[in-house]
Copies of this chain bind each other. A is one copy, B any other.
């Protein structure tokens, strides 16, 4: 149950079998930093190229293919007072017919007030002059090496996690990744100070963070896709295009989870999901879109277990 502090000096734009920067054990906690999606650090200095440079990978002792790596996000603290977004909805989230009528997209700056825990535009257009958003940090891109010799761009996502941009992956949440490589090789980065569903301007409010997380291992879990848990819900994550397929992946993973961990045969699980399931949309901007299939713990017979997969 060691606590590690790690200061990265290099970053990765892919998730793959890269040399580990630190070896940690089941139960350990790590405090580290991440640069923003454009590679800028706490001093707004560019330390790495786009897209989404990752801190890591962290080698988790004992992790083997078939296991699951559980990552509890303990804390996310912005390390600077600025963030940035794009100024216009992404072209793929509106009807194509209207695109010629829209203005040009620019990169714009936001001010992060760490005392007030708020975020606002540095130079807001008049119509949103008084827009002050709460600071609600989340991790846009994290996950493990995808195995089979693959090194997958941090622009996209898959079974191994990656650039999912789901706003549910914030402090207090737990993420769980299938392990494909010896040591799991966990990467993280692309922190957002705030983000709506879908990451529909192509960014959250991108900034650098200090992040504290704890890892646990579940042996022989045989998960197919990322999973997660919050105080109130369990959820599964599907990454694909179109959204229809991402939803199929997430729903299938939830069906498996309910069957394996909660003794719900497909018909019982269908009765439950049919009436209580919630779907969230992670991103609809990246090459793979992200759909989350979520069930409130109150509907599960073991609502008092901390985590279905830790129980």
Docked Cα-Cα span, A244 to B247, in Å, equals: 11
Docked Cα-Cα span, A38 to B152, in Å, equals: 23
Q: Are A89 and B243 in contact (CB under 8 A)?
A: no
| Chain B residues, CB < 8 A from A305 | none
Q: Does A142 contact B (CB under 8 A)?
A: no
Per the CB 8 Å criterion, the residue count for chain A at the interface is 84
Q: Are A93 and B241 in contact (CB under 8 A)?
A: no
Q: Are B127 and A264 in contact (CB under 8 A)?
A: yes
| Chain B residues, CB < 8 A from A266 | 88-89, 102-103
Looking at chain A's contact residues, the main secondary structure is mixed
Q: Does A200 contact B (CB under 8 A)?
A: yes
10 A-B pairs, CB-CB below 8 angstroms?
A13-B148, A89-B270, A94-B251, A96-B96, A127-B265, A128-B271, A199-B274, A203-B274, A240-B287, A241-B245
Q: Does A85 contact B (CB under 8 A)?
A: yes
CB of A140 to closest CB in B, whole Å: 13
Q: Does A153 contact B (CB under 8 A)?
A: yes
A:191-234 near B, CB below 8 Å? 194-201, 203-205
Given contacts A149-B151, A200-B251, A268-B128, contact A274 B242 (CB under 8 A): no
CB of A98 to closest CB in B, whole Å: 6
Docked Cα-Cα span, A273 to B150, in Å, equals: 33
| Chain B residues, CB < 8 A from A115 | none
CB of A234 to closest CB in B, whole Å: 14
Interface residue stretch chosen among A1-9, A29-37, A171-179, A278-286? A278-286
Most buried by B among A95, A126, A240: A95
